[in-house]
Chains A and B, each alone.
Chain A
Amino acid sequence: MSEHRRRTSPSASGRLLRNALLIVLALWTLAPLLLLIVLSLSRNWYAPAVWPSVWTGEHWGRLVAAASSQREALLTSVALATLTALLACLLALPFGRLIAQSRGWPRRWAAAMAFAPVAVPPIALATGMHFSLLKIGLAGHFGGVLVAHIIPAAGYLTLFFLGAFSAYDLRIEEEARTLGATRGAVWRRITLPILRAPIGDALALAFLISWAQVPLTLLIGGGLVRTLPIDVFAAIRAGDDARAASGSILLIVPALLAIAGVRVAVRRTGVVGL
């Protein structure tokens, strides 16, 4: 019991060390973000000035302007990530279930196949896809980039659903069938509600995968499909720090929302959903 107390009640020096580590970690994580916020609200802030001399909201104003290319990029990213999340989820859900139901070598092979787009270096994957999509005329188009985003996202999600379905007792559906439910009713009333949380997590995961995707978008889109990360990339290259900063902050928002969502889910269920 005393040992247990020692573990749960660290000494004063232990508490000090823990707090110091927490502060370092917070600074490490938040400092770049704070810097981005300041950059996005300033004009002509150059070294060695410690603080911007001019504060402005013009960079954020560009986002709401109808003809803004950054706004276009933001909307393209949102559309791309949303479609990727939905389509990858639609593909991965039955695949994950199928693999979870199989046994022996088919299960191992199918899991390895799903893992391939995740494990292969993005540039190699992008090159392979570039040649494939070029042949069918999709390179340089939104549709091509969407297909390119779906492939790794569906791989991640298949593995994710493999885990979810491995913990899901399929016999519950059998019992529901004998209780009078058709296949469709079982999906609507049993499977989807039970898997609501994992499906939500999977949608968020696929959205984030697409949202942050650069190499695939660059190579397959060929610069013609301009997403927010590509816009940030271009702004950095052009030396437009404020635009890069405001774009970067926007890129962080969905990730922060996802982390917050997971924290809420953990508090509500006591189980890590993602």
Chain B
Amino acid sequence: MSHAAVATLVVQNLSVPFGAKPGLRDISLHVAPGERVVIVGASGVGKTSLLRAIAGLTDITHGSITIGGRDVTLLQPEQRGAVYMHQTPLLFPHLTVFENVAFPLRVRGASAAEISDRVYDALTNVQLDSLALRAPKTLSGGQQHRAALARAVVGRPELLLLDEPFSSLDPALRDDVRDALVTVQEKFGMSVLLVTHDLDEASRLADRIGVLQVGGALQIGTPKEMFETPKSLAIAVALGHRAILDGTLTKQGQLTCALGVITVDPRMVADVGIAPERAEIAVSVLLMPGALSLIAPLLDGPVFHVQRMTYSGDGASAKVQVGTVSLDIPVLAESAGDDAIATCAAGTRVSVRIAPSRVRLFNR
């Protein structure tokens, strides 16, 4: 049985116009029951349009949407079984917190006893049961988000569509609301499709991450797959990778770039694919985290100058100009420690150690 056959959400060949522009084209994705899929991408690529189309809030020009096994492509938003939450918590200002959360149940004609039970259950899960009779405007930002979350899950929708739900919160509140989301989502078992531009948020929440690019190209995988083996340089950039150099690669696996000459795995040569008539090919060299480490004061191979030292909980790192790119390179344990400042101070000449397994190559 395919993933799509058991999925909560199946989107097939979806095309969404952006006004008069073409917009998203031929998007396909699925979200499994209870799964959290996070879509990342630059501003303007259509993340929000994708969510709105699934919710039925935007017209589509092509494709189909199935939620919980029902084709909802032509259904109204209220008939789809998917709740859309905006960036800011849009609580109904004329209703109390209780009545806000009760709203999805009231419009479906639930009994008073059921409403009371389920509303207090949802509010307890987001720790707002004591504030049930308050007006929304009297709640803090984090409380408003949690109330909106309780309202979204109280009707047990099959799918939650979250549009950058934490971006308006400060970091402490963001963790708080994110935890509340995971708690209620796991308790009620609904699937989540969330869009964000915050990669940290994506990696913390996602069972799978999708990178959406201009025009609608979408690569989805587990966070490990996506961060470790991006399918293209554009996706690597969208996932926050910035250490990219130009280089040339020979059929023998000799990679020449600003770091010197590196011997890479023959499988990487095969992946890049060098035409038989050519001896070498121009490539983009993606240096994954851990690809480089800095050795000082040993001078072995190409020598670089330290521009600035920085220290964090992870240890010391040095900002070094490599070719046209300025890289933060961690200082190796053997040269770090108490004398790291002295050994790697700004202006120091240093060598760089390369881990070829942490290098990725893309055709240029």
Contacts and interface: CB of A to CB of B under 8 A. Distances in A.
23 contacts: A171-B86, A172-B90, A174-B86, A175-B84, A175-B86, A175-B90, A176-B92, A176-B103, A178-B55, A179-B78, A179-B83, A179-B104, A180-B107, A180-B108, A185-B107, A189-B103, A189-B106, A189-B107, A193-B94, A194-B92, A194-B93, A194-B94, A196-B94
Contacts, number: 61
A196 B95 CA distance: 13
A100 B152 CA distance: 28
A136 B80 CA distance: 49
Contacts of B93: 194
A169 interface: yes
Interface in A156-209: 169, 171-172, 174-182, 185, 189-190, 193-194, 196
Interface residues of B, number: 25
Contacts of B208: none
Given A190-B92, A194-B92, A194-B93, A179 B86 contact: no
Given A171-B86, A189-B103, A178 B78 contact: yes
Contacts of B104: 179-180
B103 A181 contact: yes
B78 A177 contact: yes
Nearest to B93: A194
8 tightest CB-CB pairs across the interface, nearest first?
A177-B77, A178-B84, A179-B104, A172-B90, A181-B107, A193-B94, A178-B77, A180-B104
Contacts of B82: 178
Interface of B: 55-57, 76-78, 80, 82-86, 90, 92-94, 103-104, 106-108, 151-152, 155, 161
B57 A169 contact: no
Contacts of B106: 189
A179 B103 contact: yes
A182 B103 CA distance: 12
Nearest to A170: B90
A190 B94 CA distance: 8
Nearest to A196: B94
Contact of B78 (A169, A181, A190, A193): A181
A108 to B, nearest CB: 19
Contact of A174 (B77, B107, B151, B155): B77
Contacts of A181: 78, 103, 107
A41 B219 CA distance: 86
Given A171-B86, A185-B107, A189-B103, A178 B94 contact: no
Contacts of A176: 92, 103
Contacts of B103: 176, 179, 181, 189
Given A178-B83, A179-B155, A181-B78, A172 B107 contact: no
Contacts of A194: 92-94
